[in-house]
Amino acid sequence: MPADLSPIDKAKFVAAKRAVDLIEDRMTVGLGTGSTAAWMVRCLAERVREEGLRVTGVPTSRRTAELARQLGVPITTLDDAKWLDMTIDGADEFDPALNLIKGGGAALLQEKIVATASDQMVVIADAAKEVTQLGAFPLPVEVIPFGWQTTKALVEEMLVAMDVMNRDVTLRMNGEAPLVTDEANYILDLHLKRIGNPRQLAMVLNQIPGVVENGLFIDICDIVVIGHGDGRVVLRDINSGETEDGRVDFAPTDNIFTDLGD
């Protein structure tokens, strides 16, 4: 175990490892995108390698697909799988009702499609992602490049009537150029600070011409697994109302910690 692994990375790892324990043999599983989801793919690969777990992954981005291939996790497309047993993914924020903000990794469109095509969505996160009200993390909105400035103006106009604290909207950049998603779209980041009615905002955003999808995941997440830097893990099931406290032994193999450039 690397001695310099941060408490946040330890929390991400233990949450990922506990979530991967929920996967059963022969499941088809959506594989999320981002730093926490990368730990999940590594933990899943360890189960495939060490236990002979038979699983098929459906990646939510090109970089997750590449990581899964490098680690030996079998993958397929959503079109071939059609329906999934479970999706495991990270989140930028989650509230007490397990509503989410996602899209910090610019993969929100594929992530939402895959998550809604699953029997269950499991979110893995460190404790810092839990909030009483969504909005501190900028809300990503995927838009088509054509007329994006017009779309941005329409979003800004719409926000005047919404229950939000702030209304700044910025185009996400990649150096000197706009960031381009896997679907060749742009991302607008809405710096709202507080979202009073996430359900309403999600519905109104998707009615704006040029908007492809937004990063509010409402009534999609079923379980959240919250990791802590000391190995503690809390699992909350929104459907049953049950909470499970546990601990994950922090003794991963060298293969999990190999830097594969994710």
Residue 147: which CATH number? Answer: 3.30.70.260
Our CA angle for 188, 193, 198, nearest 5°, is 75
Q: Which residue range(s) make up the domain with 34?
A: 7-131+219-257
| One domain, residues 177 and 114 | no
Residue 59 region, left (φ>0) first, then alpha (ψ -120 to 50), else beta?
beta
| One domain, residues 99 and 225 | yes
Which pLDDT belongs to residue 15?
98
| Known catalytic residue at 111 | yes
| One domain, residues 36 and 91 | yes
Longest dimension (CA), the chain: 54
Encoding tokens for residue 227?
A: 């990791």
Determine contact, residues 162/204, Cβ cutoff 8 Å.
yes
| One domain, residues 205 and 226 | no
Average pLDDT over residues 200-225: 98
On whether 90 is known to bind a ligand per the annotation, the reply is: yes
Q: Which of 46, 93, 111, 213 is catalytic?
A: 111
Q: Which residues fall within 8 angstroms of residue 203, CB to CB, at 6 or more apart?
A: none
- pLDDT confidence bin for 256, thresholds 50/70/90: low
Is 262 domain-assigned? no
| One domain, residues 20 and 112 | yes
| One domain, residues 193 and 235 | no
pLDDT tens digits for range 20-44: 999 999 999 999 999 999 999 999 9
On whether 215 is known to bind a ligand per the annotation, the reply is: no
Determine contact, residues 44/20, Cβ cutoff 8 Å.
yes
Which pLDDT belongs to residue 139?
98
Number of domains the chain is built from: 2
Gap between the terminal Cα atoms of the chain = 19
CA–CA dist 60, 185 (Å, integer) = 15
pLDDT tens digits for range 219-255: 999 999 999 999 999 999 999 999 999 999 866 555 5
Is 205 domain-assigned? yes
Residue 240: CATH number of its domain: 3.40.50.1360
pTM equals 0.94
CA–CA dist 146, 144 (Å, integer) = 6
Radius of gyration of the chain (CA): 18
Could you give phi then psi for residue 151, rounded to 5 degrees? -60, -45
On whether 102 is known to bind a ligand per the annotation, the reply is: yes
On whether 254 is known to bind a ligand per the annotation, the reply is: no
| One domain, residues 125 and 206 | no
| One domain, residues 236 and 112 | yes
Which pLDDT belongs to residue 105?
97
